[in-house]
């Protein structure tokens, strides 16, 4: 996408590009607008409710996708655009039913996941 259409450096420049949408309810569009992107439904070339699919669509050159940095880093060929727009932060919740936490096997896995998520958390 970037090779053919250029690298947007500002939210204003981004309005000249196509995006990959995440839903048709308007929530995703609203979130992008909160980050200063004056977009409309017309800016979306396609929609994907799966983040993995959206990343693949972006890699195929169908538009720009707003996604988690960790996921994008694993997709060859994707580059970050709009470097001045702050990253979207998603909260993680690790939950289990109360009775499952008393199971030793479940507790071991739960604790490993909790430690791993905490280690990856920003300082």
* Main-chain dihedrals φ then ψ at residue 21, nearest 5 degrees: -85, 160
Looking at per-residue pLDDT, the higher value among 107 and 122 belongs to: 107
pLDDT of 50 over the 80 cut = yes
In three-state secondary structure terms, 109 is helix
pTM of the full structure: 0.73
pLDDT the model gives residue 123: 44
Q: For the chain, which residues make up each domain, given as ranges?
A: 2-73, 91-123
pLDDT of 8 over the 80 cut = yes
Mean pLDDT for the stretch of residues 47-69: 93
Dist. CA 44–CA 69, nearest whole Å: 20
- Burial class of residue 66 in the structure, from the number of CB atoms within 10 Å of its CB (0-12 exposed, 13-18 middle, 19+ buried): buried
């Amino acid at each position: 996408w970037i090779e053919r259409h250029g690298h947007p450096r500002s939210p204003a420049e981004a309005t000249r590009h196509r995006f990959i949408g995440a839903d048709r309810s308007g929530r995703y569009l609203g979130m992008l607008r909160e980050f200063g992107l004056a977009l409309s439904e017309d800016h979306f070339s396609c929609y994907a409710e799966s983040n993995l699919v959206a990343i693949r669509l972006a890699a195929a050159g169908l538009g720009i996708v707003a996604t988690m940095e960790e996921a994008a880093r694993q997709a060859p060929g994707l580059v970050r655009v709009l470097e001045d727009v702050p990253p979207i932060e998603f909260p993680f919740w690790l939950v289990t039913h109360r009775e499952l936490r008393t199971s030793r096997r479940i507790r071991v896995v739960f604790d490993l996941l909790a430690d791993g998520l905490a280690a990856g958390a920003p300082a």
